[in-house]
Every structure is written in C-alpha cells, then in structure tokens.
C-alpha cells in the first residue's frame, strides 16, 4: 500500500473530544447541555443501528438524546405532530428524522416541517437551497458531506483550485458535497452511472468522492496517481468466511486504489465515524446559537 491512510475513526475521536469539552463548558456557564431528538419510523435494521449509534455518541459527549421510535404505519399527520412538538420543546436543540421514511409518508413535507433552527441534518429545503447558492450560508450543512470536507481539512489536503470529482448524485451526499467543494473553490464534476467514459472522468480527479453505493466499483486504474480518495460507500457483500457471513466494503476497490492514490479513507473507519461526529457538532452549534 502506497497511499496514506486517512483515519476517520481517529479524526472523529478528536472531534468528539473537542465537543465533549465544549459541552462541559456549556453546562458550567449556562447550566444546560444540548439535546438531540431522534425520530425513527418503523423497524428497518440499518436505521435502528444508525439511530442507536447516534444516541450512544450523544451520551458519550454529554449531549442529551430523546428517542422517538414510532410504528411503521404512523400517519402523515401523526408524524407531523411529533415533529411540531419537538420544534416547540425547549430542551431539544436538534431534530433528526432518520431516512428513509416508509413509502406512504411524504418525506419532503416532514423534512420541511422541522424548525430551521433545529435542522441538524441540514435536510430542510431552505437549508439545502441556501447550500446550493453563492454566499447564502445554510444554518446547518448535512453531516456526511460536512464530514468529507472535515477529513480533507484535518488531513492537510488543500481544496482550492483542485479538480474534484464526485461519483454519485444523491440528495444526502453527492449533491451537497459537490456544493461544499465548489464553495471551497474546487473545480467540480458530478458523475454517475449514466456518465459516458466514467473511468476516464474519474481519472481526472485530484480529489475523488465516491458515493454511488456500488461495492468496489472504482478500480485502481480509475484513480489518478497521487489523488486523494474519500470513499463514502458502505456496502455489505457476502463473505462466507467471516463470522457474520458478510463484510463491509466501500465504493472503491481499496487494495487496488491504495497502490495509486496519495491518500485514501478505509471502509469501515473512514467517513462513517465522521458523519456521527458532525451530527454532534451540528447539535452543539444549534444549542450555542439558541443560547445566543
Ligand atoms: N439515512 C442515511 N443517511 C442519513 C443521514 O445522514 N441522516 C438521516 N436522518 N438519515 C439518513
């Protein structure tokens, strides 16, 4: 392996410690701690795991968490009522509605009902709109994209003027991370499954953000020698040899790419821990803003 490993687990641990210290200071000076409400609808195993990890991370840094686990058949109006109650609750500084929501729920209406000041996921249409315009600061930036930029910054990778290629165009990662890179003066290309000559386009990248959700799609010869590779993918692939019967791989063929790249994130242990650290950061920032 030639590439430097970008250790998201270690960087996220540093950030969690910084947040812990700031939460302690808030308790001391203001007699309160930040509060995060999690809203989980239904019983998807992956969503349950993510929400459990988020709540546990809150506790570790002194942030209170309020869990709302709701039945899969909850109505649109009942769910809206839960969100509105949380908007009005002074102990709640951040509201996280775990996605995806069941098919019968209009998620755009639900995300739009979250108070702008408590939108710690950054998914409110107005926050997304501001992110997509010049010089219009959103109150919150989505956690995974923010975590990707933080990984670059804390690894000493300069973004300005670089060619950045984002593989994937989801609302949660691809589109917002492209905006963040653009705001940092990268030259940004967004590509996807329908892009012609995809390997050739990806090979242009000084900074590659892979977020398509396809196991090991990016091969070593797609990577520009010396590129920095941020792998957002978390894909379970069958692995009869392992205890669980599966293992997690990214969107990038790690062994091949790490022979070519200058630096690369592993999966797991790269972007994943940063997403949670950024959620804590956003919740603390929300609480600080509400204190004034
Ligand atoms: N589902 C997948 N990623 C996310 C995320 O970052 N936030 C929420 N709320 N749901 C998700």
- The per-residue pLDDT for range 209-251, each reduced to its tens digit, is 999 999 999 999 999 999 999 999 999 999 999 999 999 999 9
Both 162 and 260 in one domain: the answer is yes
Binning pLDDT at 50, 70 and 90, where does residue 59 land?
very high
The set of residues, in sequence order, having a beta carbon less than 8 Å from that of 156 and lying 6+ positions away, is: none
What pLDDT, on the 0 to 100 scale, is given for residue 277?
Answer: 98
Question: Is a pLDDT exceeding 90 seen at residue 88?
Answer: yes
Around 146, how many Cα atoms within 13 Å sit in the side-chain half-sphere?
22
Q: What is the mean pLDDT of the chain?
A: 98
Both 259 and 165 in one domain: the answer is yes
Express each pLDDT in 181-211 by its tens digit. Answer: 999 999 999 999 999 999 999 999 999 999 9
For residue 14, being part of any structural domain is answered with no
Task: Give the number of domains in the chain.
Answer: 2
What pLDDT, on the 0 to 100 scale, is given for residue 1?
Answer: 78
Express each pLDDT in 108-164 by its tens digit. Answer: 999 999 999 999 999 999 999 999 999 899 999 999 999 999 999 999 999 999 999
pTM for the full predicted model: 0.97
For residue 35, being part of any structural domain is answered with yes
CATH number at 251 reads: 3.40.50.720
For residue 4, being part of any structural domain is answered with no
Other Cβ atoms within 10 Å of 16 Cβ, number = 18
Mean pLDDT confidence for 58-68: 98
Q: Residues with beta carbon inside 6 Å of ligand 1?
A: 96-99, 121, 143-144, 172, 275
**What gap in Å lies between CA 135 and CA 47, rounded to an integer?**
34
Both 158 and 266 in one domain: the answer is yes
Spatial contact of 1 and 57, defined as CB atoms under 8 Å apart? no
Among protein residues, the one whose CA lies closest to atom 2 of ligand 1: 99
Active-site residues: which are they? 54, 98, 121
CATH number at 110 reads: 3.40.50.10860
Token match 């709109």: residue? 129
Among protein residues, the one whose CA lies closest to atom 4 of ligand 1: 99
Mean pLDDT confidence for 38-43: 98
Domain that holds residue 200: 143-272
């Amino acid at each position: 392996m030639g590439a430097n490993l970008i250790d998201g687990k270690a960087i996220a641990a540093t950030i969690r410690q910084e947040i812990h210290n700031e939460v302690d200071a808030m308790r001391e000076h203001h007699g309160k701690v930040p509060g995060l409400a999690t809203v989980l609808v239904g019983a998807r195993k992956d969503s349950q795991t993510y929400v459990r990890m988020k709540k546990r991370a809150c506790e570790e840094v002194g942030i209170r968490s309020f869990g709302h686990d709701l039945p899969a058949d909850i109505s649109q109006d009942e769910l809206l009522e839960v969100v509105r109650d949380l908007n009005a609750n002074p102990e709640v500084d951040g509201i996280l509605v775990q996605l995806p929501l069941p098919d019968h729920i209009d998620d755009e209406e639900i995300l739009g009902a979250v108070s702008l000041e408590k939108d710690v996921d950054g998914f409110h249409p107005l926050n997304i709109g501001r992110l997509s315009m010049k010089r219009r600061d959103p109150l919150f930036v989505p956690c995974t994209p923010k975590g990707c930029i933080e990984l670059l910054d804390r690894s000493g990778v300069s973004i300005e003027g670089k060619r950045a290629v984002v593989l994937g165009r989801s609302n949660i990662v691809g589109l917002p991370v492209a905006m963040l890179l653009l705001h940092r003066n990268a030259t940004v290309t967004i590509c996807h499954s329908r892009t012609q000559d995809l390997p050739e386009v990806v090979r242009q990248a000084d900074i590659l953000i892979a977020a398509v959700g396809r196991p090991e799609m990016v091969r070593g010869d797609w990577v520009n020698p010396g590129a920095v590779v941020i792998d957002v993918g978390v894909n379970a692939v069958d692995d009869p040899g392992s205890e669980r019967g599966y293992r997690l791989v990214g969107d990038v063929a790690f062994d091949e790419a790490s022979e070519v790249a200058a630096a690369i994130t592993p999966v797991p242990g790269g972007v994943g821990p940063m997403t949670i650290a950024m959620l804590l950061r956003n919740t603390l920032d929300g609480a600080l803003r509400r204190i004034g």
